[in-house]
Amino acid sequence: MPPLNLGNQPKTPLDAEQAWRATAARARETVLFFDFDGTLAPVDDDPTAVSPAPKVLAALEALAPVVRRVAIVSARPVEFLREHLGGLAGIDLYGLYGLEHSHSGGETVTEPAALPWVPTMSELAEQARAELPAGTLVEFKRLSVALHWRTAPRLGAQVERWGREQAERLGLKCQAGRMVLEIKPPVDRDKGMVIDEVVRDAGGAWYFGDDVSDIKAFAALRARAAGDPRFVGVCVAVANPETGHEVAEAADLTIDSPAALGDFLTEALPHLR
């Protein structure tokens, strides 16, 4: 009997052990995808100060040789991910929603269509620092600018309005998140597209995420499962007070926090081995 096509049943209650057992039958064909902020690492008032939750790095290191691939798919640049994952070997990194990638510690490759936008993003970051009110944190990521208002929630509407106006003026794209608005080049690249490409010849995949941008990744897993009854796809939400309900509605399972994710992955290892 083939494994359950778990990712194609978003409203059916899912037992985690059952899902891992179905995955174990084809672990060598399975990809494990993780968002970074809010999933592997708790969100912090200072986005530069975050670090993975306890047990997470050890679990990823143990999982990497057991499954086909472990991949981080994040809004962060690849270099940031590399630094904050402690030099883990055998992990693929997709940064800036897939505009950058690095496979198993190799060189960072940037989407060519995004490179001409670097000067525009740099100028936008400087403009944001000059025009937005105190309490706004402007994070320049070379190929995107993130406008955070976590430490000043009252500024949310003002900052978001300013960001969307500038994006429209410059022909850029916006991605809303947890008390942040990300402004990106008009290049057709998102987490769902990354997952779609990687799982085309995979036998299964799990995606762990916490924010609205991760829902596109869930959709990509469900589309793959809909086209192949043998594919085991599982979508996991990490709870949070801002976007958690919306993400959990789109997922098969919900985990309480990044710290709980570390425990969850550690407990999964015996099933896969």
Which are the catalytic amino acids?
A: 35
Three-class SS string for the chain? CCCCCHHHCCCCCCCHHHHHHHHHCCHHHEEEEECCECCCECCCCCHHHCCCCCCHHHHHHHHCCCCCEEEEECCCCHHHHHHHCCCCCCEEEEEHHHCEEECCCCCCEECHHHHHHHHHHHHHHHHHHHHCCCCCEEEECCCCEEEECCCCHHHHHHHHHHHHHHHHHHCCEEEEECCEEEEECCCCCCHHHHHHHHCCCCCEEEEEECCHHHHHHHHHHHHHHHCCCCCEEEEEEECCCCCHHHHHHCCCEEECCHHHHHHHHHHHHHHHC
